Structure 1
Amino acid sequence: MTETKYTSLSGRVRLTKNYQSLLLLACVVIFVVLFSVFTLSGASTGSSAAQVTAPKSLYAETGPYVCEHHYTAKILVHEPLVMRIDNFLSYREADHIVELARPRFQRSPVASSNGDSVHEARTSSTAFLGKSHDDVIACVEERASMLTSFPVNHIESLQVVHYAKGQRYLPHYDYFAKSDPEAYKKYTANGGQRVITIFGYLNEISSNPPEEWIAEKEKEGANITELIAKGTGGHTFFPELKLSVYPKKGSAVLFFDMNGKGEEDPMTLHGGMPPEWGEKFGLNVWIRQREIV
């Protein structure tokens, strides 16, 4: 795996100038793969790459909120590009986003030619947060912009999702499929196609199952040791890539929904697996080809 480190220093390095060009978007991919270390801007803190460790040592968890950017990116798959971003969010930011979303949660919709509607393929709950809702949301939007080199006005309103025990989102694409022309036309009219997905993990699922879960599985005659060894669930699964990314609070998975030719990439098929116990909170950051107006 290739690791790319980012830290917060003065000055901004932009990877592209023409944000609407998917050809240059492909160049961004090549740039990330070939160059192991480069710097992005944030608050001028005098940080160094050596400071990139655990979230709680990087971001102030008390006192006035300060927008800073400290994260590392590790390439998991080169084609399509899939990256794990550690420290994409601070614990403080993650907790704040969850609390903002709690009173707004509704059954998660699925896009179709008839508009957004609920479907048994997606049983989670969703809350949308308005653009630049507050300082924290504005900072996360800025961070996503810096990470991808797309302007903030290409980013959709952030979507928070909640998966209770057993809830899931079956494998799907984040891009709008041309196989449904009406839906494609409707959802791409403002901003164009989705080109990048960032999914942030807002909490972690305890590795120790609750006693009631153990009792339930024992009644079913299941092998508890084997089930626990399989993990907590709640991970993001890419069936075509045989890749699973497990929740780690503050981290994110980033992938390109379109390839360098400007085509939707079916290899990005992915699903939100159900938590075996506990619950999962996540943050969808979707970036479009063009400005959203």
Structure 2
Amino acid sequence: MSIRPATSLSMAQPTMEGAGVHLHRAFGFHEPRRFDPFLLFDDFRNDDPAAYANGFPWHPHRGIETITYVLSGEVSHSDSLGNTGTLGAGDVQWMTAGSGIMHQEMPKGNAQGQMHGFQLWANLPASLKMTEPRYQDVSSGDIPTVVDDDGTSVRVIIGDFWGKTGPVDGIAAEPLYLDVSVPAGLRKRLKVDTYRNTFAYVFAGAGRFTDASAPRGVLLEKEVAGQELNIRDLSGNQTLVQFGSGDEIEVQAGPDGIRFLLVAGAPIEEPVAWHGPIVMNTPAELQQAFDDLRNNRFVKSAH
């Protein structure tokens, strides 16, 4: 077994999308090969309904898949194929845009006005860019949670982990998508396929990920023993950690524990032509997509 080193650490950056939704973007629109097969990752959380209530009105997608994971509040969705639904706390939706879909997503806070969730974009290989669109809506109760003897808890959203299989399947990127909680002070190793690009996104608590070349690890706390860390090591909430090669990650939870998403996927290694919500392989395909959009040919199939 070899521990994956934490090769980079960065903070999610504030931005706005849709009709003025305030969110934090961990990565996206730059260096698409770096996280291949993943293209973009957003953390949308806010306690102020004015910062998200206008949502994401009707917009197109082609050539990608999106996964939406809601922690609190709700997200109502509808699309050009007649699908409608609402995601609540703990629910997941994977949308395969494929050949083209128009949809909208409208967030709503919980009783306290809080809204929190994540959206991840995964690329489709050339052979599936124009596949038929589809949805997988998964309720929270259908997502297995496995708890280890030491108290580590893992929600298995996609993939196989610790004897459980996530309910979302048939995804081109063959991803692993886990919601991991490690108790305070605990050191834990988690197995990840050697050949998959892997990242973690910390959204609660603190800790560090062990680096085989630097046993102290990449620290995810602003202060250790009262000493300020170098800016390269600063982290905590809303922190993205990218890993190098190996078949395990090792995390040391801080005094309040740590909770993070662990995501891995098989790289596609194909050219990327990307503009806004449409991702194809060549500029000509991208131009064709926007021509289709302008000429009402974008939605290729219907139920």
Provide TM-score, normalisation by structure 1.
0.35
Considering fraction of residues, name the structure with more helix: 1
